[in-house]
Amino acid sequence: MPKLNRYVFTSESVTEGHPDKICDQVSDAVLDAIYAHDPYGRVACECLTTTGLLVIAGEITTTTYVDIPGIARQVIRDIGYTDASYGFEADSCGVVTAIHEQSPDIAQGVVDGAGKKGEGAREVKGAGDQGLMFGYAIRETKELMPLPIMLAHKLARRLAEVRKNGTLTYLRPDGKTEVAVEYVGGRPVHLSSVVIAAQHDPDVEEITVQQDIVAKVIKPVCGKLFNRQTQVFVNATGKFVIGGPAGDTGLTGRKIIVDTYGGHGAHGGGCFSGKDPSKVDRSASYMARYVAKNIVAARLADRCEVQLAYVIGVKDPVSVLVDTKGTSKISDEKLALAVRDVFPLDPGGIIKHLKLRRPIYRTTAAYGHFGRTEPTFTWEKVEKVGELKKRVR
């Protein structure tokens, strides 16, 4: 965050019909389908989509069978691509798969008994890859998330809601949102601008789209934060008819900043969707958020960033860093020691504590992995507050 008294910070989100998010949701739907029958399967599923085509590739080791093309078509159908005039449609698009098993060179460092009979039922013993993962929390919203990204997600979700419930029947699945918030002294004081790109049918007037988006999307979400001084941009090019995969190629994992904190805090670079929790890109990022949120919820800091770093095949993190940005009366070094004592940080411990061997991932693949209230988002719980307070005393 800038070290300025007054500044504007901007974050963006996208709807579930955005090409990148189509890919994220298909990747996680494949993971969920496997986990529904084989919770010890190892999955790394990537997607690419463009006009009339979806390509699914990756490494999957499992004891079960799933109909990957059928899963993909159902996700596309659920999102709303059911009309061939959109340039991409669930039943007519081509679906190409290129799947093979996880490399045994990786498996031997990750799973106990890899290569032996019944390897799919073995527990994780080490990290599935090297890397660094970050978690973040801030006392700025009730979700302990940055305000710009929370508003951007809510606007994106609202766009999908008014499309699906028939409020704005001319809307199509693709869309993007962007929110700029003015800060003074590190606190949000004003909604500076709201940007909405909403895909629509070709026969609707530009002014109709603009007025409806303000009345049915922006005002219900932003409430009192929205005022006459707030700049509004709706479909700034004038129209947005060609969208989805017909307008832009999509890839799994390309919206990692949308998925996390909207640019607040640092990011290790690894995406989440399509990866089972033996991949610390996903599970350790969830744990880092869990740690940071519990520290802020315990009022040990107003802002907290946590970094965890791992080596492939090694159980414990090689580093644990807590940075409260000068908002804690307790030293960051002492907090880091408390974190090591209170939270399980090895991959197997993370998976067990956060209950990650369940088909819960498709829900995470749109509208952010953090700041959510659904009960399956176990990394959003603040159940370690009392233990943390006791430990730092």
Q: 56 near 33, Cβ under 8 Å? A: no
Residue 67 annotated in ligand binding: no
Residue 21 annotated in ligand binding: no
What does the CA dihedral 126, 131, 132, 134 come to, rounded to 10 degrees? -80
- Beta strands 94-100 and 131-138 are unpaired
Sequence-ordered alpha helix ranges (H) in 250-312: 256-259, 280-297
Residue 59 annotated in ligand binding: yes
Residue 255 annotated in ligand binding: yes
Residue from 196, 205, 179, 200 nearest 233 by CA? 196
Residue from 169, 362, 152 nearest 274 by CA? 362
Q: How far apart are CA 131 and CA 181, in angstroms?
A: 32
Residue 275 annotated in ligand binding: yes
Residue 240 annotated in ligand binding: yes
Residue 20 annotated in ligand binding: yes
Residue 175 annotated in ligand binding: yes
Q: Rg for the chain (alpha carbons), in Å?
A: 22
Residue 142 annotated in ligand binding: no
Mention every residue, 6+ apart, whose C-beta is less than 8 A from residue 130: 310, 311, 312
Tokens of 169: 């029947």
Q: How far apart are CA 178 and CA 171, in angstroms?
A: 18
Count other C-beta atoms under 10 Å from residue 357's C-beta: 18
The residues facing 195 across adjacent strands are 178, 233
Residue 374 annotated in ligand binding: no
The structure tokens 């340039």 sit at 87
Residue 74 annotated in ligand binding: no
Q: Exposed, middle or buried: residue 333 (CB in 10 Å: 0-12, 13-18, 19+)?
A: exposed
Annotated binding-site members for K(+):
46
Annotated binding-site members for L-methionine:
59, 102, 248, 279
Annotated binding-site members for Mg(2+):
20
Annotated binding-site members:
18, 20, 46, 59, 102, 174-176, 239-240, 248, 254-255, 275, 279
